[in-house]
Structure 1
Amino acid sequence: MVSPAMLKGMNTEIYGEGHPFGDPSWYQAYNTPYYNDSHKKFRKIMREYVDEHIMSNVHDWDEKGVIPKEMYLEAGKQGTLGLCIGRPWPEKYFGPSPWGFEPDYFHELIMYDEMSRTGSVGFQWGIAGGTTLGLPPVYHHGSEELKQRVMPACVKGEKVCCLAITEPTAGSDVANLKCTAKLEGDHYILNGEKKWITNGIFADYFTVACRTGKPGVGGISLLLVEKGVPGLEGKGFQYMMQNFNHESLKFAGKRKTFGKTLIQHPVIRFKVAEMARQVEATHNWLEWITYQLNTMPKLEAMLKLGGHTALCKVQCTKAGGKGDWWLRVELCCVLGVGVRSVEVMEYCAREAAQIFGGLSYSRGGQGEKVERLNREVRAMAIPGGSEEIMLDLGVKQSTKLAQMAKMFAEAAPQPQAAKL
């Protein structure tokens, strides 16, 4: 028997279903330096919202290939679209935060943690992917006239904005775009082809990356394509990079083979343990990046976090999820640091399929989330930069940063030795 006296001073606050490793560790009575009462309040709001409005409908939307317009309006009303575009909260274009507090990047991480319980990459991309990528350049770098015209409708879910970068011949190689824009009088003539644009088939606004100047990074501009509205010449690459740098265990306890539940077999416990090990380590890395983003000035974050987030994307997508883990790193793309983890997602999706057996390739039913995650894992690995590009970028950025730090240290005034 456990007496109340034995529990005195211990953290016993558990949130969620209580499955081991089924939620972030701070949900399961572990101490954390990152979260406060506002995060706990927001966690409850998001869980109830996801359970009531999303969870039971995701499979139907996936089969139909369409998310109802009402869901965009509901997401806007709920505040989730405003949370997707970076800090500070867009009060000027939305109104006060609907939760009664100024959200930080950890609130955004919680939003993705809770939405990821649906096990649907498609839903997340569909409801907010375009606006998450296309609207921040307008919010952070557009003219006030442009923001007044575009921001309110987009953060309220009335209209959708997307980011048009990828071309048939330029994906990860963003600096070598071929699409051009030539200024003629008061208007730009835009020539080129864009492909694989998230939310592009139904977007109302297109933040288009195009070439208005010399070859390379310095010649890229962003145009908001909406009846010829001009963009900001020459800084398009910088603004895009700021934004980029922005169920197995439960089933295993029920299914039986050879007279035992799956979780009673050592080989299954090993699979679950390995998934948990990779996911918990990756989520801790993500929380560390989020903390840096919360506490650094924007310029410092852009300089220092690019390498970490590029590597974190690869780590997460290769290992990927316990049904809901794949989306934990989605935050980084939205935060402005350009990450989406796939290594962990890929590993966990495969291992979850091994545990679920034939159910893992049947659409709908008990294996619905596992089937969908295996089908959608490549949609997380490729967009935003392939694994190979991200690995190379991560090392190059970190090496460059180390060289800069050395230069700064050498240039700084040296302390005088104390006289004896």
Structure 2
Amino acid sequence: MSASAKLPPFDAADPLGIDDLLEPEDLAIRDTVRGWAADRVLPYVADWYEKGELPGIRDLARELGAIGALGMSLTGYGCAGASAVQYGLACLELEAADSGIRSLVSVQGSLAMYAIHRFGSEEQKQRWLPRMAAGEVIGCFGLTEPDHGSDPASMRTHAKREGGGDWILNGRKMWITNGSVAGVAVVWAQTEEGIRGFVVPTDSPGFSAPEIKHKWSLRASVTSELVLDDVRLPAGAVLPEVTGLRGPLSCLSHARYGIVWGAMGAARSSFEAALDYARTREQFGRPIGGFQLTQAKLADMAVELHKGILLAHHLGRRMDAGRLRPEQVSFGKLNNVREAIEICRTARTILGANGISLEYPVMRHATNLESVLTYEGTVEMHQLVLGKALTGLDAFR
């Protein structure tokens, strides 16, 4: 740039000029998802959250399918074939509306559809993926159990062959997003061959999914228990291309990548609420944004928010290049969710007592992120993943 060239104006919404890294198609996808969320989620989500429900979830799923948001980074079978960065941008916009909406999309695409797409038979793919991509069938992913979260290798759900043919599944899964509205569940179980994944139609006799109530986080989201009592499945229900924990863990890594972006959406929403409030709320005769301590908070929040978005973008480019390692996903999930929670908490202090009101999104995002902090790997698990990668020493056991 020549000395006489005019610099672009400073943009408080994009202080680092990160949008310059995006292609026109990236921006178009981002704007499409942002517009859908502004129209179909933001006017209603505070009421959904207060009531602890997500009404019309099947209609929302079909609408998300219509804009290509379900399984969007997968190819074929009606999926959009979007880039990892484009999928990440969608996750950011969805979670800027609410973590529960992003969870609906993540579980559908990055867990249930991804498992079938990567490890399923052609028959399984043809049967389920087109309808899931269109939002006609909602999926869920059964790995976590009441007594086994961070240690899935110890799961008790088991499947046995009967006479070398059908499989009989028994067990319980817990904290399952989409469970009670799903038409298909990908369930992981112990077998004589090791841990295997099963594609389970939810109308199978012996399958039930009671919804979990009394949540104070992810309230605008369907969360269920899965109960499998002698569920009989044909031999073709097993995912044929994987045995062992590599299957579910690779699915989780894909979903965690979406969280790296999504958490920054919740942080951005809270930061924008605090910035707008600081510009207009007056105390001692002037806007509180004119006081040094408030400006220090806003500056620190902006730094961590946009560092997190840069990190997410970097990881997305690595995923698109086929170079993203699971440890790097742990790096992103650990940093971005932790910083997002801190941004929400700081934003709440700027809003003062108004910060606890559902008139503003801050407390809703903060409580949602407490769940995001835990699911798909707790803070401690991701710290240990990075610790092992850094030292070469395994501290898990």
TM-score after normalising by structure 2: 0.78
Which of 346, 353, 357 is the aligned partner of 1:358?
353
CA contact 1:307–1:395 (8 Å) conserved in 2: no
Q: Does 1:384 align with 2:376?
A: yes
Q: CA 1:167–1:310 in 2, change beyond 3 Å: closer, same or farther?
A: same
CA contact 1:72–1:158 (8 Å) conserved in 2: yes
Q: CA 1:40–1:145 in 2, change beyond 3 Å: closer, same or farther?
A: same
Q: How many residues align?
A: 338
1:166-225 deviations in whole A, cap 9, x for unaligned? 0112101122212111111321111221111111122111111111136xxxx2111111
Residue 324 (structure 1) aligns with? none
Q: Give the distance between the partners of 1:72 and 1:308, measured in 2 at CA.
A: 30
Q: Tell which deviates more after alignment, 238-247 or 59-68.
A: 59-68
Q: Give the distance between the partners of 1:127 and 1:400, measured in 2 at CA.
A: 35
What SS does the corresponding residue of 1:192 show, helix, strand or coil? strand
Q: CA deviation at 1:73?
A: 0.9
Which of 49, 54, 65 is the aligned partner of 1:66?
54
Residue 269 (structure 1) aligns with? 295
Residue 321 (structure 2) aligns with? 295
Q: Does 1:316 align with 2:336?
A: yes
Residue 208 (structure 1) aligns with? 187
Indicate the RMSD between aligned Cα atoms, in angstroms. 2.5
CA contact 1:268–1:355 (8 Å) conserved in 2: yes
TM-score after normalising by structure 1: 0.74
Q: Give the distance between the partners of 1:158 and 1:391, measured in 2 at CA.
A: 38
Q: Does 1:94 align with 2:78?
A: yes
Q: Give the distance between the partners of 1:109 and 1:24, measured in 2 at CA.
A: 20
Q: CA deviation at 1:155?
A: 0.9
User: For residue 109 of structure 1, what is the amino acid of its counterpart?
Assistant: G
Residue 192 (structure 1) aligns with? 171
Q: CA 1:146–1:38 in 2, change beyond 3 Å: closer, same or farther?
A: same
Q: Give the distance between the partners of 2:38 and 2:156, measured in 1 at CA.
A: 44
Q: Does 1:107 align with 2:82?
A: no
What SS does the corresponding residue of 2:181 show, helix, strand or coil? coil
Q: Give the distance between the partners of 2:47 and 2:62, measured in 1 at CA.
A: 19
Which of 81, 86, 97 is the aligned partner of 2:70?
81
CA contact 2:71–2:114 (8 Å) conserved in 1: no
More relative contact order in 1 or in 2 (CA 8 Å, sep 6+)?
A: 2
Q: Give the distance between the partners of 1:23 and 1:166, measured in 2 at CA.
A: 38
Q: Tell me the percent identity.
A: 24
Q: Give the distance between the partners of 2:197 and 2:155, measured in 1 at CA.
A: 12
Q: Does 1:37 align with 2:38?
A: no
Q: Give the distance between the partners of 2:66 and 2:372, measured in 1 at CA.
A: 27
1:399-419 deviations in whole A, cap 9, x for unaligned? 459xxxxxxxxxxxxxxxxxx
CA contact 2:146–2:172 (8 Å) conserved in 1: yes
Which has the larger Rg? 1
Q: CA deviation at 1:62?
A: 2.4
Q: Give the distance between the partners of 1:274 and 1:82, measured in 2 at CA.
A: 35
Residue 116 (structure 2) aligns with? 138
Q: CA 1:184–1:278 in 2, change beyond 3 Å: closer, same or farther?
A: same
Q: Give the distance between the partners of 1:230 and 1:306, measured in 2 at CA.
A: 25
1:80-113 deviations in whole A, cap 9, x for unaligned? 1131xx33x33xx217x4xxxx521111122122
Q: CA deviation at 1:357?
A: 1.0
Residue 418 (structure 1) aligns with? none
1:129-188 deviations in whole A, cap 9, x for unaligned? 344322211011100111111111111111111110001121011222121111113211
Q: CA 1:131–1:284 in 2, change beyond 3 Å: closer, same or farther?
A: closer
CA contact 1:208–1:223 (8 Å) conserved in 2: yes
Q: CA deviation at 1:395?
A: 2.1
- In proportion to residue count, which structure has more strand? 2
What SS does the corresponding residue of 2:198 show, helix, strand or coil? strand
Residue 156 (structure 2) aligns with? 178
What SS does the corresponding residue of 1:80 show, helix, strand or coil? coil
Q: CA deviation at 1:378?
A: 1.2
Q: Does 1:252 align with 2:278?
A: yes
Q: CA deviation at 1:49?
A: 2.2
1:366-416 deviations in whole A, cap 9, x for unaligned? x2x112012212111111111011100122135459xxxxxxxxxxxxxxx
Residue 327 (structure 2) aligns with? 307
Which of 175, 197, 203 is the aligned partner of 1:222?
197
Residue 336 (structure 1) aligns with? none
CA contact 1:94–1:155 (8 Å) conserved in 2: yes
Q: CA 1:198–1:134 in 2, change beyond 3 Å: closer, same or farther?
A: same
Structure 1: which 5+ runs fail to align? Answer: 318-342, 402-420
Residue 157 (structure 1) aligns with? 135
Residue 331 (structure 1) aligns with? none
Q: Does 1:129 align with 2:107?
A: yes
Q: CA 1:205–1:374 in 2, change beyond 3 Å: closer, same or farther?
A: same
User: For residue 314 of structure 2, what is the amino acid of its counterpart?
Assistant: W
Structure 2: which 5+ runs fail to align? Answer: 205-232, 255-272
What SS does the corresponding residue of 1:117 show, helix, strand or coil? helix
